[in-house]
Amino acid sequence: MVFKKPVPPGPSFSVPQTIGAPGWIVFSYEKNIPVCMWITSRECIPLQVCADERICSDTIIRCEKIKNDFVVSDIFMYNGNCVYACSSFKQRYDWLKDFLKFIVPLNFKLIHKSDSKHKSRGEEVYLDDIGTPGYYREYENLVTVKKLAIPDCYQIGEDYLRVPDLKTSQYLRTLGQSFELACVNNGDGSWSMIEKSNA
């Protein structure tokens, strides 16, 4: 629920966006049995929780998954009511902090974004308006990159820079033996170049 565009003027509230995979935790019913699922465009995984089944009338929470941690950032629906359409992000964000106290995860961790110690790749900025999406702003993280003797291999400290495609490879070859580059740490011993948006 964020745009990758410049943030318009006005009062705003910002939160970090972690390096996790974005998705949704959904509380619903399947064949009259309450279920909790982690859903992304690639997977649908059941989660074990101890919670009042009355929240299972379609409650949808936006999260970022990092290993077995789910960093909670927003809520779209609560018991079939679209709270996104009738509240500002700041209201939902504050309310979620209290709401999470009533959910006990059994095989994973639910962490409110304000309590997260995970690395972030940028920040989400939300205007103080009801039912509006946020705006994603990347951190300017300049790191020193050294070209190695092996083609398309670049080192950042003890880690390596990912070269995902030919376009990136061609661009990096124009930068010389050592250069500064805006990158994000993937948390697995590798870094990814931050592509500049044309917005």
pLDDT of 9 reads 81
pLDDT-derived band at 93 (thresholds 50, 70, 90) equals: very high
The CATH number of whichever domain residue 32 belongs to comes to: 3.30.470.30
Segment 31-68, tens digit of pLDDT: 999 999 999 988 999 999 999 988 999 999 999 999 89
CB 156 within 8 A of CB 143: yes
pLDDT in tens, 164-197: 889 889 989 988 899 888 887 887 889 988 765 4
Q: Which two tokens stand for residue 58?
A: 């379609």
pLDDT in tens, 126-156: 999 998 899 988 776 678 999 999 989 999 9
How many folded domains does the chain comprise? 2
**What is the full DSSP assignment across 20-80?**
SEEEEEEEEEETTEEEEEEE-SS-EEE--EE--GGGGSSEEEEEEEETTEEEEEEEEEBTT
In a domain, 101, yes or no: yes
* Residue 48 structural domain: 2-138
* Residue 178 amino acid letter: S
- Check whether 29 has a pLDDT greater than 60: yes
Same domain, yes or no: 131 and 146: no
Q: Check whether residue 24 and residue 99 sit in a common domain.
A: yes
